[in-house]
Amino acid sequence: MRHILAGARIFDGAQLLDDHVLVLEDELVAAILPVSQAAEPTMIVDGVIAPGFLDLQVNGGGGLMVDGHSDLAALRVICETHRRLGCAGVLPTLITDTPQATARVIAAGVEAAGAAVPGFLGLHLEGPHLDPRRKGAHDPALVRPMGAEDLARLCEAARALPVLMVTLAPESASPQQIAALAGAGAIVSLGHSDCDFETARAAYAAGARCATHLFNAMSQMGHRSPGMVGAVLAGDAFAGLIADAIHVHPAAMKAALAARPHGIFLVSDCMAFAGTDLTQMTLNGRPVLRRDARLTLPDGTLAGADLRLDQAIATLIGQVGIAPERALAMAMSEPARAVGLSDRFGLLAPGRAAELILLDHDFALRGVWTRDGWAPPLPG
């Protein structure tokens, strides 16, 4: 089937194009052409057509968390929920849990990869090898240093999954363990750490190449002690950012993005609430409350984010002052680069799958492309 979509601005992953059409053939991008060179359009669209988002930190969705009960069916629900929220791909993320829960989630992830679940990119294991001083909403009873069995399990998972991201603190894993994980193909991301600048730099030298939710749950930047934040901003590692203006102040985001022209990408850090109207859920036996666009434990500790990536883009543009092209790329081509999937995601180009979303002129999500045309996104 052939479609010629006209009327909208087109973001190709790098630039916003006006007065162009997008040509689709059999669910593939066939061409992006100036209007003057195109045939009669088959569909007039108002807004911005862009590649689907990639979200590398998705703790749940559709009423389900990634946890020790997650199986293939649960991962399908979570991935489908996020596809209807505009994501072409996600990394379902397990928050600190037991070795048994970790093994079960890895097994489910391997099964999801074998079943080619739409939108499943791999897994993100956030913990349990963290610094309890920077635990955030993670259960301190489950936080622990990495042992030999943990390392073997993670290396095996990295070899079995298309993508495995592992968030750890350098205090809880040695440079040798980090090097082994990187050598097995895992993307080692530093986070939930109180380490100093030098320790973070040593972890990056050992093979770590990302940071989890920049500024949050990590040692902050001081003028004499730059901490992990300083190591990220002075280096070239990728870093996720929760751009809800709650987890990070707009002024801090502006400074970070000025320091790092490339490599920072958006994450939702969403929970089971995503795609639902739920107001409460449970995390490791503790209630998480959804109030006023915040997710918190009863004591007020932030527990993930009530955020969609289109909202994060709007925050960057409206409150931080970032150019629309860069804000869009931070939800599309930058995360694709971070996990080595730029050949499949983040760009619109001939031969690419037509994983498209439609945004309005304020960059709010309005549609997700399907075989039958534009489907409305899920609320919430």
Which tens digit of pLDDT belongs to each residue from 44-66?
Answer: 999 999 999 999 999 999 999 99
**Distance between CA atoms of 376 and 366, rounded to whole angstroms?**
6
Report, as an integer, the average pLDDT of 12-34. Answer: 96
Identify the pLDDT of residue 379: 83
**Active site annotation includes 19:** no
Phi, psi dihedrals of residue 349, rounded to the nearest 5°: -155, 155
Q: Which helix (H) or strand (E) holds 241?
A: strand 238-241
Contact 228, 197 (CB under 8 A): yes
User: Residues spanned by CATH 3.20.20.140 within the chain?
Assistant: 52-338
**Would the pLDDT of 372 be above 90?**
no
User: Residues spanned by CATH 2.30.40.10 within the chain?
Assistant: 2-50+347-375
**Distance between CA atoms of 6 and 49, rounded to whole angstroms?**
10
CATH architecture, range 52-338:
Alpha-Beta Barrel (3.20)
Domain 2-50+347-375: give its CATH code.
2.30.40.10
Q: Which of 269, 277, 310, 362 is catalytic?
A: 269
Q: Give the chain's mean pLDDT.
A: 97
Angle (CA) 301 304 309, round 5°: 140
Q: What is the dihedral of CA 198, 201, 207, 213, to 10 degrees?
A: 110
Measured from the Cβ of residue 35, the count of other Cβ atoms closer than 10 Å reads 12
Quick one: pLDDT band at residue 284, thresholds 50, 70, 90? confident
Burial class (CB in 10 A: 0-12, 13-18, 19+), 229: buried
Which tens digit of pLDDT belongs to each residue from 199-251?
Answer: 999 999 999 999 999 999 999 999 999 999 999 999 999 999 999 999 999 99
Quick one: pLDDT band at residue 119, thresholds 50, 70, 90? very high
**Residue 36 vs residue 372, higher pLDDT:** 36
**Would the pLDDT of 363 be above 90?**
yes
Q: Rg of the chain over CA atoms, in angstroms? A: 20
Identify the pLDDT of residue 52: 98
**Would the pLDDT of 380 be above 80?**
no
Going across the sheet that includes 356-359, the strands are 16-17, 9-11, 48-51, 356-359, 365-370, 373-375
Identify the pLDDT of residue 285: 87
